[in-house]
Structure 1
Amino acid sequence: MDVVELMEWLAERGCSVVFKADGERGQGQRWMVIVSGGALGPEGLFRTDLSSAEACVEATLEHLASRQVSPFT
């Protein structure tokens, strides 16, 4: 699943999603994803800062699975 597919899937479930690349951060944790609301519930919030877009997608999918929310079920 790519980032656009994941963002669309989350938006269809009422989530707000921010996916950001920040060139000013250098080579480290250049990528960020924030997911809130919707399928995560009113208090649900997930954020991660990682070194690649793919790592952010994987971390988001893992978090969703831990909350019993998954595009694969």
Structure 2
Amino acid sequence: MLELMEWLAERGVTTVLKVDGDRMTEHRKAWMVIVSGGPLGDDSFFRADLTTADGCLDSLLAHLKGKGLSPFK
């Protein structure tokens, strides 16, 4: 995930990956990923709240692919 975040930052995309301790102890969707800006567009904003970091990564990669931006070209 850190390599992907760096790759996105080099392209002007702001990325946040967060885990919420309160949500974790309550067995709720504790992981969150947010991306915006850069080649995703000025009005772009993507957020996913999921139960695992891997889920956030998968969701983010699918979103990026849909926007025509992928580190796997």
Using structure 1 for the length normalisation, give the TM-score. Answer: 0.92
Aligned equivalent of 1:21:
19
Instruction: Give the aligned residue type for 2:13.
Output: C
* Distance in 2, Cα, partners of 1:28 & 1:51: 7
> How far is the alpha carbon of 1:19 from its aligned partner?
0.5
Aligned equivalent of 1:54:
54
Q: Which runs of 5+ in 1 are unaligned?
A: none
Where does structure 1 differ by over 3 angstroms across 4 or more consecutive aligned residues? Answer: none
SS of equivalent to 1:24: helix
Q: Which runs of 5+ in 2 are unaligned?
A: none
Instruction: Give the aligned residue type for 2:53.
Output: A
- Percent of aligned positions with the same letter in both sequences? 52
Q: How many residues align?
A: 71
Instruction: Give the aligned residue type for 1:13.
Output: R
> How far is the alpha carbon of 1:36 from its aligned partner?
0.4
RMSD: 0.8
Pair member with larger Rg = 2
> How far is the alpha carbon of 1:13 from its aligned partner?
0.6
